[in-house]
Amino acid sequence: MTSPGSRWSQLDRPPLGERALRAALIRPDSLWTRLDVLESTGSTNVDLIAAVRAGRAGPGTVLIAEEQTSGRGRLGRTWSAPPRSGLFFSVLLQPAPEVPADRLTWLPLLAGVATAAAVARAAGVDTALKWPNDLLVTVDAEERKCGGILAERAEGGMVVLGIGLNVSLRADELPVPGAGSLLLAGAVSTDRDPLLRACLRSLADWYTRWTRAGGDPEAAGLLDTYAAGCATLGRRVRAELPGDEELHGTAEALDGEGRLVIAADDGTRHPLTAADIIHLRAT
C-alpha cells in the first residue's frame, strides 16, 4: 500500500524510470551524454544554465523534472502543472562551427517539429505548430496549446532548449481554460517513458540532420516540414507589437531565418522574429 506522499501514490502517473532512460538514451553514438531526473525544481532551463556556468554540465546533457514549479515560456510567461502530469525537460546543445549564428533561430522551430513527430508516433495524437514555439492539439473541435518550447543562450556558445508538454492533465487541472493535454486530445497512451524517449530520439535525429546541412533549413527539410505542420500560415492574424502597436494581415510564409512574414492589409510585407511580437492571435 502506498503512502500519500509516495512517488507511486498516483498509479496513473508513475514516476519516470531514470535508470532505464539512461540505458536507452545514453550510448556512445548518441547525441545525449548525461540524463538526470529531478523530483521537483523551479525551472530546468534555469538549472541547466546555472550548471553550465558552474562547469557541471556539458553538451548533450538532459535535465528532466517530475514537477516544475516556475517553468518559463516566452517573454517570462509561466508554465505549471501537477507533478508527473507532463514532460518538463531541457537539453544542452553545442552548435557546430559550420552552423552560422543567424541560423540558430531555427532551434526552437526544429524542436517543435521533432516533438510533434514524437507525439504523433508515441501517443497517436496529431499536433499542429503555432509559430514560433507552441504545440497545439484538438480538444472538442478546438485548437488548444498543450506544449511550449523555450531556447536560451548559455555560456560557451551553447544553447539550452526547454520543452514542456501537458500529457495527462484532466480538464479541472488545466492552468487556463484554453489549454489542452494529450489525454484530452484522445491519446492512445499517456505513458511518459516511451513519450520522452521518442521526443529525445526525434530531437537528436532532426538536430543531426540540420547540423549536417550546415544549419540550412531547406537542405535539412526543416523549412518544408515546419511549414506543412504550422497552423499559423495562411491565416488572418493580429500581431501585438511593442509600443502598443498592432499589425493586421495574413501570415504568409517563413523566411530563411525562421521569421514569420506577415502580408499586411496595406500591401506591405513584414518579416518578424519572436522577439518582435508580444502576442500573435488568429482573427
Q: What is the pLDDT averaged over residues 112-135?
A: 97
Residues 6+ apart with CB under 8 A from 156: 52, 94
Cell readout for 150 is 523555450
Beta-ladder partners of 264? 249
pLDDT at 25: 98
E strand or H helix that includes residue 37: strand 34-38
Distance CA 184, CA 149 (A): 20
Rounded distance between C-alpha atoms, residue 274 and residue 175, angstroms = 23
What is the reported pLDDT for 212?
Answer: 97
DSSP 273: -
pLDDT value for 1? 39
Cell of 11: 498509479
Can you give the pLDDT at residue 176? Answer: 87
Q: What pLDDT, on the 0 to 100 scale, is given for residue 78?
A: 63
pLDDT at 49 over 70: yes
Element (H, E) at 240: strand 236-241
Instruction: Give percent above pLDDT 70 in the chain.
Output: 93
- Tens of pLDDT, residue by residue over 140-165, are 999 999 999 999 999 999 999 999 99
Q: What pLDDT does residue 2 have?
A: 47
Which pLDDT does position 73 carry in this prediction? 56
Per-residue pLDDT, 3 = 45
Could you tell me which CATH class the domain 18-228 is placed in?
Answer: alpha beta
* Ranges of each domain in the chain: 18-228, 233-282
Asked if 119 contacts 195 with a C-beta cutoff of 8 angstroms, the reply is: yes
- Tell me what the mean pLDDT of segment 87-114 comes to: 96
Please state the rounded mean pLDDT for residues 123-141.
96
What per-residue confidence (pLDDT) applies to 177? 83
Interhelix angle 107-123/192-212, rounded to 10 degrees, is 140
- Report pLDDT digits (tens) over 185-215: 999 999 999 999 999 999 999 999 999 999 9
Residue pointed to by grid coordinates 506544449: 147
- Asked if the model's pLDDT at residue 174 lies above 50, the reply is yes
106-117 average pLDDT score: 98
Domain 18-228 identical in fold to domain 233-282: no
- Sorting pLDDT into bands at 50, 70 and 90, what band is 175? confident
Place of cell 502598443: 244
| pTM for the full predicted model | 0.93
The pLDDT value recorded for residue 81 is: 83
DSSP assignment letter at 60? T
227 pLDDT higher than 60: yes
Q: What is the pLDDT of residues 50-79, one digit of tens each?
A: 999 999 999 999 999 999 997 655 555 566
Q: Which residue has the cell 516533438?
A: 115
What percentage of the chain reaches a pLDDT higher than 90? 89
CA nearest neighbour of 187 among 164, 167, 163, 170: 167
Q: What would the mean pLDDT of 260-282 be, rounded to a whole number?
A: 95
**Third-level CATH fold of 233-282:** SH3 type barrels. (2.30.30)
Beta strands in 119-182 (DSSP E): 128-130, 134-139, 142-153, 159-166
Which pLDDT score, from 0 to 100, does residue 86 have? 97
For the cut 80, the answer to whether the pLDDT of residue 171 exceeds it is: yes
Instruction: Provide the pLDDT for residue 11.
Output: 72
Residue type, 181: S
